[in-house]
A = this chain, B = another copy of it.
Amino acid sequence: MEALGPAAKRFVVHWGEMGTRWGINRTVAQIHSLLYISPRPLNAEEIAQTLSVARSNVSTSLRELDRWGIIKVSHVLGDRRDYFESLRDTWEMIRLILEERKRREIDPTLRVLEACLEECETSKPVDSEVSERLRNMLGLFTTIDGWFREVMSLSSAELKRLVGMRRKVRKILRFGA
């Protein structure tokens, strides 16, 4: 088990901190970053050693990462252990993460907003004030949802191209749709 170099260590620690700000478990984030920078797939034991966390903790964290779809499991001939590695394509990773967050957060919110509006408009004293605000918010999320769908339908190569077109997009915007 080779220890991490200072740069790698710093990256992993920072990633863990950032994770917590996004509602992602620190260990999960650390493992992800470790796998991302690791030149080769690692097994659970190595991960536990390197990060000084319990083996069980690694197990559940890996499952979470798997749920996000951003790690891969591989095997070595004659070795029963699971080896894990991160996706290399950063844009693909972002895409997957956005997809999952949409599923977990945007979709439920859309449903709740619709239900609230429903309720709001069928109640006897129709509360048009509240109803209008809810409708505004629903509009926002619908639009965001649409963008997500659009972005998610792009390949990561297309995404990269789109990103490279910032200035062009801006120009179009300024000088008329």
Interface residues of A (CB under 8 A from B): 5-8, 10-11, 14, 18, 20-23, 36-37, 39, 88, 90-91, 94, 104-105, 108-109, 112-113, 115-117, 119-120, 123, 127, 129-131, 133-134, 136-137, 139-140, 143, 146-147, 150, 154, 158, 161-166, 168-170, 172-173, 177
Given A109-B18, A112-B11, A166-B146, check contact A127 B90 (CB 8 Å). no
Set of chain B residues within 8 Å of A172, measured between Cβ atoms: 165, 168, 172
Pair A163/B143 contact, Cβ less than 8 Å: yes
Bound together, the chains give a CA A127 to CA B10 distance in angstroms of: 15
Pair A129/B39 contact, Cβ less than 8 Å: yes
Given A14-B109, A37-B133, A105-B18, check contact A173 B146 (CB 8 Å). no
Bound together, the chains give a CA A78 to CA B55 distance in angstroms of: 63
Given A5-B123, A11-B113, A130-B37, check contact A177 B163 (CB 8 Å). no
Shortest Cβ distance from A147 into chain B, in angstroms? 6
Pair B163/A147 contact, Cβ less than 8 Å: yes
Set of chain B residues within 8 Å of A6, measured between Cβ atoms: 119, 123
Bound together, the chains give a CA A20 to CA B113 distance in angstroms of: 18
> Of all chain B residues, which has the CB nearest A118?
B7
Given A5-B127, A7-B130, A105-B18, check contact A90 B140 (CB 8 Å). yes
13 additional contacts (CB under 8 A) given A5-B123, A18-B105, A21-B23: A6-B123, A7-B119, A7-B130, A8-B127, A8-B130, A10-B112, A23-B23, A88-B133, A90-B136, A143-B163, A154-B173, A161-B173, A161-B177
